[in-house]
C-alpha cells in the first residue's frame, strides 16, 4: 500500500513582471498534477509576495514533480508535515529516549538568544527546540 505524505510548500515570486504573472497563472490554470499527487489547498500571502500550498503525495520525488513546472516563477520551499498530534507524540518519544540515555539539560534556560545553547530534537518533519545552558550526564 502506498502511503500518503503531506508537504507544506511555500512559494515566493521571483518573476513579478506582468508577463511572468500571466505565464504563472496560465500554468496554474492548465497544469494537472502527476498521478498519485495532488494539491490539497492553496493560499496567497496577504502581502501578495507569493503563497503556500499543501500537497498530498506518496514521497518527496512526487511532490517535486508536482511543483517543478512552477519554478521559473516561484522559489519553492517544501517541507513534509504531520498532524500536530503525531508530531507531538514523536517529540514525546524522543524526549523519553533522551531521558533514558542519562543525559539531561543541566540548567534549562528561560531565555532565547545569543549565549544560550539550544537542545534540538529534529526528525523528518518535526523540529522541537528546548533552550538549555549546557548538558551534563545524569
d(CA 69, CA 108): 46
Question: At which residue does the C-alpha cell 492553496 appear?
Answer: 42
Closest CA to 72 of 116, 107, 22: 22
For Cα atoms 134, 93, 4, give the angle at the middle one, nearest 5 degrees: 125
pLDDT at 134: 52
Domains of the chain: 5-81 (3.30.70.1060), 84-137 (no CATH)
User: In this structure, are residues 2 and 36 in contact, taking their beta carbons and an 8 Å threshold?
Assistant: yes
Residue 130 has pLDDT above 80, yes or no: no
Mean of pLDDT values over 7-25:
93
Q: Which of 26-30, 82-86, 92-96 has the lowest mean pLDDT?
A: 92-96
pTM of the model: 0.67
The per-residue pLDDT for range 38-58, each reduced to its tens digit, is 888 899 999 989 999 999 999
pLDDT band for 36, please (50, 70, 90 cuts): confident
Residue 62 has pLDDT above 50, yes or no: yes
Residue 6 has pLDDT above 90, yes or no: yes
Q: Is 80 helix (H, G, I), strand (E, B) or coil?
A: strand
The per-residue pLDDT for range 86-129, each reduced to its tens digit, is 888 888 888 788 777 766 555 555 555 544 444 444 444 444 45
Amino acid at each position: 500500500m502506498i502511503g500518503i505524505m503531506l508537504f507544506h510548500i511555500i512559494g515566493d515570486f521571483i518573476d513579478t513582471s506582468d508577463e511572468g504573472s500571466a505565464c504563472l497563472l496560465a500554468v496554474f490554470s492548465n497544469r494537472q498534477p502527476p498521478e498519485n499527487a495532488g494539491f490539497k489547498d492553496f493560499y496567497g500571502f496577504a502581502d501578495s509576495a507569493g503563497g503556500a500550498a499543501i500537497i498530498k503525495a506518496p514521497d518527496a520525488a512526487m511532490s517535486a514533480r508536482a511543483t517543478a513546472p512552477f519554478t521559473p516563477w516561484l522559489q519553492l520551499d517544501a517541507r513534509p508535515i504531520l498532524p500536530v498530534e503525531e508530531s507531538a507524540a514523536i517529540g514525546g518519544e524522543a524526549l523519553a529516549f533522551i531521558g533514558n540515555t542519562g543525559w539531561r539539560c543541566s540548567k534549562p534556560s528561560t531565555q532565547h538568544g545569543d549565549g544560550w545553547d539550544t537542545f534540538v530534537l529534529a526528525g523528518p518533519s518535526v523540529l522541537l527546540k528546548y533552550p538549555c545552558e549546557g548538558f551534563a550526564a545524569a
